[in-house]
Amino acid sequence: MKGQTIVLLSVLSLVLPVGRVVAQDQADPYLWLEEVEGDKALDWVEQHNEASLAVLKAQPVFPETFDRALEILNSDERIAYPSFHGKYLYNFWQDAKNERGLWRRTTLGEYLTGEPKWETLLDIDKLSHEESQQWVFKGATGLYPDYQRYLVSLSPGGGDAVVVREFDAETKRFVEDGFYLPEAKSSVSWKDLDTIYVQTDFGEGSLTESGYPRIAKRWKRGAPLSEAETVFEGQAEDVAVGCSTIDTPERQYDVINRAITFYTSHTYVIEQGQIIKLDIPDDADFGGFFKNQMLVRLKTDWIVGPTTYKQGALIGIDYDKCLQGSRDFTVIVAPDARSNIVSYSNTRNLLLVNMLNNVRSELYEYRFQNGAWQKKRVDTPQVGSLSVVSTDEQSDRLFFSYEDFLTPSSLHYVAEGQTMRKVDSLPAFFDSNGLEAEQLEAVSKDGTRIPYFVVKPTSMKADGSNPTLLYGYGGFEISLRPSYGAVQGAGWLSKGGVYVLANIRGGGEFGPGWHQAALKENRQRAYDDFIAVAEDLVRRKITLPQHLGIMGGSNGGLLMGVMFTQRPDLFKGVVCAVPLLDMRRYSQLLAGASWMAEYGDPDVPEQWVYISKYSPYQNVSADKGYPEVFFYTSTRDDRVHPGHARKMVAKMEGLGYKVYYYENTEGGHAAASTNRQRALTSALTYAYLWMQLK
């Protein structure tokens, strides 16, 4: 899920399509808590922070958990994950001395020594001090192929809205009178040294109802932004519009994406000044170019003449032939019912495809030779999770990482003709001796098998007494995979807790179909899946409801809200982070309108019928025996409105329930910007869970 400083629009100012009915917000007595920076709302936040922190910080486990979490997050033994850009490897690093971080670089040779000398490009702490602004680094877009110029994105407080400034990597200074964009949800792309494509807030009418740019422009150096040439305009009801340049060793491509909904879009290319719409399904993912092959990943079956290209497949076609009318695609990868493409990337000559097979990672390389694709499995560790960290577009060098629940993350380097080598790994931040991980299955209400992982002491007794934390998400085709949670291990597993990861529908573990099974009117399936896993844990006597806690954030925060309102008998602890909760108004708050393809439109009566059945804010009521929920969010979250959590807490307290609430004043949707803030949130979470579950 995806601002400028928040300005709340009245409902009457929204332009709603025919068939939608405006929500009657006047019935909500807590609407004032949506005023993000309102004095009354911030006083309420301060009071609740003080009350909750007083209790949670007083828990015996809090001090040691906070200290250990901060030690882990600031450790020099963490992996400095690299990113190839030209002749350098880049990295962003935060530690105790550099709370807001260093953007830095080194050479590949230096990096492979194990103790590289880093060249600092931008010190965010120093910049914040000099400019009296709490900057949060949000990344940088480099100019291909030398990457001497960057468009640096900085957020004041950590939200999605950023200030964009041109930076010279050789002089290590911002470019005087260079490209500059004020705070907005902008996106930019280099065309050449003196030209960029820009999508930003150009003024009244330039944003979609979701709060993203609907106009793409071509901006020449030296000209004012007001004179930038319009390249493409979308509609107000679209999600967003973007135009970017894709550089490859073969050629440069200019591509326009018009996101109609979160899952449907039109893709265009610009050829000799002409805008050409690509003939691919609206719900397909356009995957860029490799060796002049245009890549497309399908979300549903696509019938082209006598050929059916199957859902989930990655297919390719010669770009020039496609423009000439050919639809003779080649199937590159065809996942089966229990596998999925997680991601794909490329080096100079290799297309790398990261697969999940029953939620276990496999990495494959594909070469396009003599008009055909040659496949080879990369010899990597198995069972856990693989991620391609960075690839070099000018060679076949790459870095990938491996981890599982009990194996610290490791970084591996691969180069053409060389043996794969481990170049770095985390130390064991917690003692995993005596712990084990296994994959189990629960059966959901409709008979669907739902896999989940359990990490537990080998000597654990199946007597129902074990404090257990169940985590889930279940949305937006996001896959949850085994990972090494150092802070989680220190704060939960090493103290005897059991950790469970649920792979419920709505996620992407088994491809687009697994996700689509829980969309809109079928949303309850994801919630039934999570309940089934919880009940299976009780059935196996791994735990009992009085020892079972659950946690999730964002869409997972919505999951948490549904869980404790539908099944308060099943859980003793609930950590509800940066959540959606008021599904009656979610589409009118910040980026909410962009997610209607996931949840439905609450202003369409027949869709509100099914949304209303699970919307936590509308379904919370008195005398239900809810657990003492811990909510946390961020004032600066400009993606999921903090009003969701604020209003839920106020409503529950009004009904007589005891809850805990913490709101960080910065951090955006991550709810934290510095390691100290992250350590505090983690320590509060585990202090709460031990208080509730032990």
Please state the domain extents for the chain: 35-70+447-693
Looking at residue 25, its pLDDT comes to: 52
Distance CA 522, CA 515 (A): 10
What element of type H or E holds 343?
A: strand 339-346
Q: Which residue has the tokens 């960080």?
A: 664
Q: What is the CATH number of domain 35-70+447-693?
A: 3.40.50.1820
Annotation says 641 is catalytic:
no
Phi, psi of 403 (to 5 degrees): -160, 160
Looking at residue 416, its pLDDT comes to: 82
Q: CB of 651 within 8 A of CB of 33?
A: no
Q: Of 554, 587, 634, 673, which residue is the catalytic one? A: 554
pTM: 0.93
Give CA separation, 508 vs 39, 45, 198, 439, in Å: 41, 36, 31, 17
Q: Of 189, 361, 669, 673, which residue is the catalytic one? A: 669
Residue 552, helix vs strand vs coil: strand
Q: CB of 592 within 8 A of CB of 11?
A: no
Phi, psi of 110 (to 5 degrees): -60, -45
What is the per-residue DSSP string for 90-121? EEEE--SS-SS-EEEEE-HHHHTTSSPPPEEE
CA quadruple 5, 9, 14, 19: dihedral, nearest 10: 110
| Residue 541: count of CB within 10 angstroms of its CB | 13
Distance CA 95, CA 132 (A): 21
Give CA separation, 639 vs 40, 260, 443, 584, in Å: 22, 18, 34, 17
- CA 268 from chain centre, in angstroms, equals 26
- Percent helix, strand and coil across the chain, each to the nearest 5: 25, 35, 40
Looking at residue 26, its pLDDT comes to: 55
Distance CA 493, CA 503 (A): 20
Annotation says 554 is catalytic:
yes
- Give 10-residue mean pLDDT values along the chain (694 residues): 28 30 65 97 98 98 98 97 98 97 98 97 98 97 98 95 98 98 98 98 97 98 97 98 97 98 98 97 98 98 97 98 96 96 96 96 95 91 89 96 96 88 96 97 98 98 98 98 97 98 98 98 98 98 98 98 98 98 97 97 98 98 97 95 98 98 90 92 98 96
The DSSP bridge partners found for residue 245 are: 254
What is the residue type of 479? S
